[in-house]
Amino acid sequence: MELANQVALVTGAGQGIGRASALALAVAGAHVVVADINGGNVEATASTIAATQRRALAVQADVGDLQEIDRMVRQAVETFGHIDILVNNAGVTRRADIMELTEADWDRIHRVNAKGVFFCLQRVAREMIPRRSGRIINIASIAGKGYAGTSNAAYAASKGAVIALTKTASQQLGKHNINVNSICPGVTRTPLSDANLRVRAERAGITMEEMDRRRAEGIPLQRTNDPEDIAAMAVFLASAGARNITGQSFNVDGGIIPD
């Protein structure tokens, strides 16, 4: 129970990496605020956490909207008194070639993946600074480090922004004893990645199973991530063992990107 009685806020916690991270933090002892734009999914995650004997608060929120972010954080603080950990996970994408991307694609992706991550970080930091304590974990992607298999260029740019934000935020929040790191998942089995895989399979004229096999062949360890692989890193970065780690972006990708 490394994180006993700490309070974590996880965005995009209705499915995939966010859900796995919320559950892993609860198993490690944290009470968890689970936030997602999909109210049904977030209630389901909260119910599962409650079964671990940890407290959970479900909040339906759109992290692309600053008023929604403020409401989400206020609800968390009103319920638990403070926030110790932020897992800044909510994100969107779609499979597209660089010449297919539209202004609407760019705005939608950056609204959540870049703007949402920044303003969630900023709003939660306002709660952490007076307490001189906090762990902020941004979910970036190896797409932000140049992974050729990225879903699209706008997505890669948004995740590159998260990596850069992590570095600068760690430098400016360090004096308040707030650690800021990011995790860069590689190919991870989530509903979002499955949707992209389906598009790739259709374009190649093969089954999803065959496309999944080809995808794994390009990974040195020959396997894709489960969401729990990312969640395990999030728990570590939230723990006392990572107290002197900040400003870093860690790949969890089976060896695709060597740095």
- Compute the distance between CA of residue 13 and CA of residue 18 in angstroms, rounded to an integer: 4
- pLDDT per residue over 77-122, tens digit each? 999 999 999 999 999 999 999 999 999 999 999 999 999 999 999 9
Asked if the structure places residue 259 within a domain, the reply is: no
Same domain, 158 and 179: yes
Q: Cβ distance 225 to 186 under 8 Å? A: yes
CA torsion angle 13 233 223 15 (round to 10): 0
* Residues 107 and 157 both lie in one domain: yes
Residue-level length of the chain = 259
pLDDT in tens, 38-85: 999 999 999 999 988 899 999 999 999 999 999 999 999 999 999 999
Give yes or no: residues 195 and 216 share one domain: yes
137 and 199 housed in the same domain: no
Query: Does residue 242 share a domain with residue 217?
Result: no
CATH of the domain at 38: 3.40.50.720
- As a whole number of Å, the end-to-end CA separation of the chain is 31
In 3-state terms, what secondary structure has residue 191? helix
In contact, 242 and 179? CB cutoff 8 Å: yes
8 Å CB contact between 36 and 90: yes
Q: Does 1 map to a domain?
A: no
Both 139 and 194 in a single domain? no
- Cα–Cα dist 136/159, whole Å: 16
- Is the domain of 165 the same as that of 91? yes
Within 8 A by CB and 6+ apart from 149, the residues are 187, 215, 218
In this structure, the answer to whether residues 135 and 204 fall within a common structural domain is: no
- With H, G, I as helix, E, B as strand and everything else as coil, classify residue 180: strand
Given the residues 155, 181, 182, 188, the one annotated as active site: 155
Average confidence (pLDDT) over 233-258: 97
Is 133 within a domain?
Answer: yes
Q: Are residues 110 and 197 in the same domain?
A: no
Question: Residues near 178 by Cβ (< 8 Å), separated by ≥ 6?
Answer: 125, 128, 129, 133, 134, 135, 136
157/69 same-domain check: yes
> Is position 147 annotated as part of the catalytic site?
no
Q: 204: burial class by Cβ within 10 Å (0-12, 13-18, 19+)?
A: exposed
Specify the residue for token string 């972010």.
69
pTM of the prediction?
0.93
Domain that holds residue 198: 189-224
256 assigned to some structural domain: no
Read off the amino acid at residue 162: V
pLDDT given at position 129: 98
Q: How many structural domains compose the chain?
A: 2
Q: What percent of the chain has pLDDT over 90?
A: 84
